[in-house]
Amino acid sequence: MNLEILADAQPQQPVRVFAELHNKTRITCSQGSRFYVVDVVCPCCLQETHVALAGWSAVACRGCGAELYKNRTIPRVCDMFIHINTDPADKWWGYAQLHKMIQNRCITKSEVLDLGEQYGFNRAVIDGRLEDVRKMQCA
């Protein structure tokens, strides 16, 4: 069996990065309401998109298709799962970082479980590891 074909068949994870926001401007629309707009710059391909500041947490880059986030939390959680996958010897550090983000209310536990599932992790395993980290911190 050709392993290259199998590798191509596996779905690729989207690139999730923190968006650079520039040129915050307040504008007035024809109905008289005012709102802020910003230029969102993709750090991967430097494509610039003009969007309203409110009403979104992520947008897709028109250049490379990366998911651009206004908040750093989701890209950090994704980076932790990639780190846990690539460096199993250091997995407890990654789970401790995830637990800290949940404790600081940057992200909910269900969001962490959903993202972990997208990276091939079992929800029960993630939940168990986070519980283990909590118990280690209490001891």
For 35-44, how does the pLDDT look when each residue is reduced to its tens digit (9 = 90+)? 888 989 988 8
Is residue 30 over pLDDT 70? yes
Would you give the DSSP letter of residue 128? H
DSSP 73-133: HHHHHHHHHHHHHH-GGGHHHHHHHHHHHHHTTSS-HHHHHHHHHHTT--HHHHHHHHHHH
For 79-110, how does the pLDDT look when each residue is reduced to its tens digit (9 = 90+)? 899 889 888 888 889 999 999 999 999 889 99
Q: What is the pTM of this model?
A: 0.69
User: What pLDDT shows up at residue 52?
Assistant: 86
